[in-house]
Amino acid sequence: MTNWNLILSIARTHLLSKFRQTAIAALGVTFGIGSYISLVGFMTGLNQMLDSLILNQTPHVHIYNEIQASEDQPADLFSEFENSLKMIHSIKPRQTQKKIHNALPIIDLIEKEEPVLAAIPQVKTQIFYISGSIELGGNLTGIDAMQEVRYFNFGDYLIEGEPQSLENVDNAIFLGAGVAKKLAISIGDRLQISTVKGGSFPLKVAGIFQSGIADLDNIQSFASIKTVQRILGEPENYITDINVKLKDIDYAPILANKIQEQFRLEAVDINTANAQFETGSTIRNLITYAVSITLLIVAGFGIYNILNMLIYEKMNDIAILKATGFSGKDVQMIFMSQAMLIGFIGGLLGLLIGYILSRVIDNIPFQTEALPTIKTYPINYDPWFYLIGIGFALISTFLAGYLPSHRAKKIDPVDIIRRQ
């Protein structure tokens, strides 16, 4: 039976009577937690921004028809050469079509899969941008603009124009910022393009986009799927790529494998395509946590020290409490609750300071060519960080308080009284 009211009131009186020491101990925790919150918010904010620069535009599974040589050459099928070494020179890629066969039923089928958010068709082709006598090579991709906005944040990268105009305006094209600059044209201008097979088409520039990756912005442009199909003279079922967005990114390799086996198409999952991003994020997180834990350990030693001193000063009090009937456990709880109070108050203040610092950083202007949508430094306000922060504070103060309070529990009142 522990009388918490009594223990807490004694702990409170001790803490308040040594207000300066208490405040210093609590400030140690506040400093540790505050810097953890602002550091981790800032670091993961940057991480997310860097990841999203690539990952948000990247489909979780990208399905297309790869132009490549057949793995089985005719000589392999001939049984007389079965056990021979075959050397074949000048293998050419297999004659195949660029379009995905039966693309529309495949899309329907993929969308029925449980973890799939959306499967979006694209039509990719090479074109030339024509400016007078100059022909500039480039890529034109036919997209469903509204779907792309919804699932791949296409709207974030459109620095001029509205995504809807791709569907609403006849023969509209969104030009990459680099292309637009090279051709010296802007929104509302007309532009001639020609396909690889020849034949030119007039298009209207309805928007400019900037992905932040210069190589892409120098060649890429977008039009609606129908426009591209018309330019190529292909029917409505002509689809070259399918981009899949998943609810759970971990499912990507499984789905990719399944599609490869079932439809004999090339399917690349995001983990394979962007493995290095994972590694970068993991290491940055590791550094963040290493620094935070160091700060908290320092704060913990501060608490340990102050509690040790407090117990040394309070020897007489401990003796009298024990003499008047407080058990060793009661005394331990008195000092333990002091440590936990310091941890809790310091931790809460730390969360507040961390939040305020995050707010400040969040409002510092940060403009970069590569990220047209970013105006200030990015901050991640994930509530998990705040939970982890207060958890850290409580655990470290618990550990720091345990040893001194255990010592207080073991103090023999007779030793103290006899010493007088």
Q: Write down the least CB distance from residue 417 to other proteins, Å.
A: 6
- Long-range contacts made by residues 325-329, C-beta under 8 angstroms, separation at least 24? 328/409, 328/410, 329/2, 329/409
Smallest gap from residue 304 Cβ to other proteins (A): 22
Residue 329 C-beta: closest distance to other proteins, Å: 7
- Of 18 and 245, CB closest to other proteins: 18
DSSP H or E stretch at residue 114: none
Q: Which residues bind other proteins (CB under 8 A)?
A: 3, 5-6, 10, 13-14, 16-17, 316-317, 319-330, 412-414, 417-418, 420
- CB closer to other proteins, 279 vs 316: 316
Least distance (Å) between residue 6 CB and other proteins = 5
Pairwise CA distance, residues 299 & 277, whole Å: 33
For 154, the enclosing helix (H) or strand (E) is none
CA distance 353 to 417: 45
Is 55:277 a contact under the CB 8 Å cutoff? yes
DSSP H helices in 211-313: 214-217, 225-232, 252-263, 270-273, 275-313
Nearer to other proteins, 198 or 325 (CB): 325
State which H helix or E strand residue 59 sits in: none
Residue 345 beta carbon to other proteins: minimum distance, rounded to whole angstroms: 19
> Is 216 or 320 the residue whose CB approaches other proteins more closely?
320
- Of 235, 349, 313, the closest CA to residue 18 belongs to 313
Q: How far is the CB of 280 from other proteins (least distance, A)?
A: 54
Calpha distance 384→390 (Å, rounded): 10
Pairing label, strands 241-246, 61-64:
antiparallel
> 330 vs 14, 225, 241, 345, CA distance in Å?
15, 76, 71, 22
Q: Whose Cβ is closer to other proteins: residue 309's or residue 323's?
A: 323
CB 138 within 8 A of CB 129: yes
Q: Are strands 172-176 and 116-131 parallel, antiparallel or unpaired?
A: unpaired
Please report how close the Cβ of residue 254 comes to other proteins at its closest, in angstroms: 59
| Residue number, 276 or 324, with CB nearest to other proteins | 324
CB of 275 to other proteins, least distance (A): 60
Nearest residue to 32 (alpha-carbon basis) of 418, 405, 317, 388: 388
* CA pair distance 114, 16, nearest whole angstrom: 59
Q: Residue 128 belongs to what H/E stretch?
A: strand 116-131
Kindly tell me which of 138 and 413 has the beta carbon lying closer to other proteins: 413
Residue with smaller CB distance to other proteins, 6 or 283: 6
Question: For residues 173 and 204, what is the distance between their CA atoms, to the nearest angstrom?
Answer: 6
Please state, in angstroms and rounded to a whole number, the distance separating the CA atoms of residues 345 and 299: 13
Q: How far is the CB of 311 from other proteins (least distance, A)?
A: 14
Is 5 or 368 the residue whose CB approaches other proteins more closely? Answer: 5
Our CB check for other proteins shows the closer of 6 and 134 to be: 6
